Structure 1
């Protein structure tokens, strides 16, 4: 039988380009191990589409490649990809797509909108304030805060500010990536990630939760994520009540945002219960990334997880 062709798209025109390349390479290799024909496409930092030989082909030719495949598997993190952009392109081209649709990607990428959805569901978030270039000067530092762009990932532009002198540089770093930023209270609690996977029958599969071991008073920033020092505990040691609360909150956010495929919902587990941090509709996707490791704890290999995502995206 001819192997099913899957277009694996990586790269992207944003600060997460290199992270996406690593995820896309791992996905393509994993799909090939599962018996698929992985057709590699890359979007370079300038936004130019390139084929598997790294030749520039442009958008029109890239769409023709997508049309030659049974399904597309976008593995882009951040703006111009994870925010629903590629899902919309695939939808317009009538190519089945792994992962969340446009609306879910756009909402989840917007951390301010995500907070509003969580609030409507009764799910706690860190107290915070939205700032733009026109009102940032009105913000006065009074206590430790975390400054972050509204729409970025991999903790780019995220700064823990402990003293007033650090606020200006933190705002500058965040505004370099987005024209809207969040200033949130520093949360004290355990960092717990929950992965949710939807199936065609409407059921939701929740993987064992993962705990990120972070020293008290610190944050899981870009250096911690990609510097090789990240310490994950899977499954996270949770009592039954906390586990149920986290899973219920994760599934509620997944459904309210309209997610599909797999998504990672990140929480702080505080003395008062779960506090939502953010939702990732296309989390890191190498075999050593959080989500694949969470499903591996159930006995599901990386290749099997990828196969499941592709088969679920194909038309019935």
Structure 2
């Protein structure tokens, strides 16, 4: 049987470049080689598409600092129109070689210029199937202000927030009245970033200026949110097959804090002290059902495809949605694959399922 040819697309220009490289390494090692031929294509931090030698795909979270993708001088030439799926590569010396026709792209990109609809739109221009969410869902869910507004309108509980721009702060440098309706502690975060990059926890007005500056380094729009008192839990969602409803994992993951104030980049990826992950999280059947229902509703309202990890605060008044991740961390030890592992779907099988969903999806 002819193998499906998969481009694993990784790296990118965002601050989550290194995490994407680690994720791609995990997928490359686990993907079913009986069914799939793989072409690794990396995007450098400057935005160049390069053909990557599999033997160099040794990115790990143990490296300090985390390693970035080297520019080896090759350049990928994508299909010229929707009439062809031929992928070509330009060698450093200028020669052009055909890599043959591809069937699907697996864009393991996190953050802006990858998870936000930009790459998805690029692939749709020439009708190349790809894993995961489409342009609309990727764009909506990357923008925390837009997604919270949408989810709130759909009746899903979200944390109270205020969105500000740099211009708002320049007009009101004393921040007079800007956040009076919110309650401390506050979380200050870029509207369009992931992996907790640029996020700060603020316990008094004196900490706001520095926190805003940190967030504005990542985006020109910043959210300031009231902290929610509740357990931080996460659930995985997969698109349904052939018109069926989306599927939620049968387990929840919980982030338990033991000294840290919140789940920052170091805790997520570098194993810093102060945070413990509990999987499966001890919840009642009613709590699991309420979170599953809210997650599937959020997935549907945002018009998601493929996959999403949906993060909640489990409170005395029910689940409060924190955010929805359209390309969650996907290393073998990441929460999303682990949730499916506990639900009976192994890592390699999850990769296969996502590729099959991509090939079945009509966009």
User: TM-score normalised to the size of structure 2?
Assistant: 0.82
Q: How far does the alpha carbon of each residue in 1:32-61 deviate from its partner, in whole angstroms, 9 at most, with x for none?
A: 456411110011111111112353444634
Q: Name the residue aligned to 1:310.
A: 355
Q: Name the residue aligned to 2:31.
A: 31
Q: Name the residue aligned to 2:328.
A: 283
The 1:266/1:216 distance shift into structure 2, 3 A limit, reads: farther
Q: Name the residue aligned to 1:60.
A: 77
CA distance in 2, matches of 1:115, 1:34: 42
Which secondary structure does the structure 2 equivalent of 1:218 belong to? coil
Alignment equivalent of 2:269, drawn from 226, 229, 244: 226
CA distance in 1, matches of 2:17, 2:151: 29
Which secondary structure does the structure 1 equivalent of 2:130 belong to? coil
Alignment equivalent of 2:107, drawn from 74, 77, 80: 74
Q: Name the residue aligned to 2:11.
A: 11
CA distance in 1, matches of 2:138, 2:278: 28
Shift of 1:299: 2.4
Q: How far does the alpha carbon of each residue in 1:150-178 deviate from its partner, in whole angstroms, 9 at most, with x for none?
A: 00000000000112322111111000000
Q: Name the residue aligned to 1:126.
A: 159
User: 2:141 matched to 1:108?
Assistant: yes
Do the aligned partners of 1:49 and 1:56 also contact (CA within 8 Å) in 2?
A: no
Shift of 1:62: 7.6
Return structure 1 stretches of 4+ with deviation > 4 angstroms.
61-64
Alignment equivalent of 1:154, drawn from 185, 191, 195: 195
Which secondary structure does the structure 1 equivalent of 2:232 belong to? strand
User: 2:246 matched to 1:204?
Assistant: yes
CA distance in 1, matches of 2:324, 2:295: 9
CA distance in 2, matches of 1:62, 1:145: 47
* Aligned residues: CA RMSD: 2.0
Q: Which has the higher helix share?
A: 1
Runs of 5+ unmatched residues, structure 2: 54-70, 81-85, 89-99
CA distance in 1, matches of 2:115, 2:214: 21
User: TM-score normalised to the size of structure 1?
Assistant: 0.94
Q: Name the residue aligned to 1:259.
A: 304
Do the aligned partners of 2:44 and 2:50 also contact (CA within 8 Å) in 1?
A: yes
Runs of 5+ unmatched residues, structure 1: none
Do the aligned partners of 1:124 and 1:274 also contact (CA within 8 Å) in 2?
A: yes
Higher relative contact order (CA 8 A, sep 6+): 1
Shift of 1:236: 1.4
Do the aligned partners of 2:3 and 2:35 also contact (CA within 8 Å) in 1?
A: yes
Which secondary structure does the structure 2 equivalent of 1:313 belong to? helix
Do the aligned partners of 1:49 and 1:62 also contact (CA within 8 Å) in 2?
A: no
CA distance in 1, matches of 2:14, 2:79: 19
Q: How far does the alpha carbon of each residue in 1:63-107 deviate from its partner, in whole angstroms, 9 at most, with x for none?
A: 752882111100000000001111111111111111000000000
Which secondary structure does the structure 2 equivalent of 1:25 belong to? helix
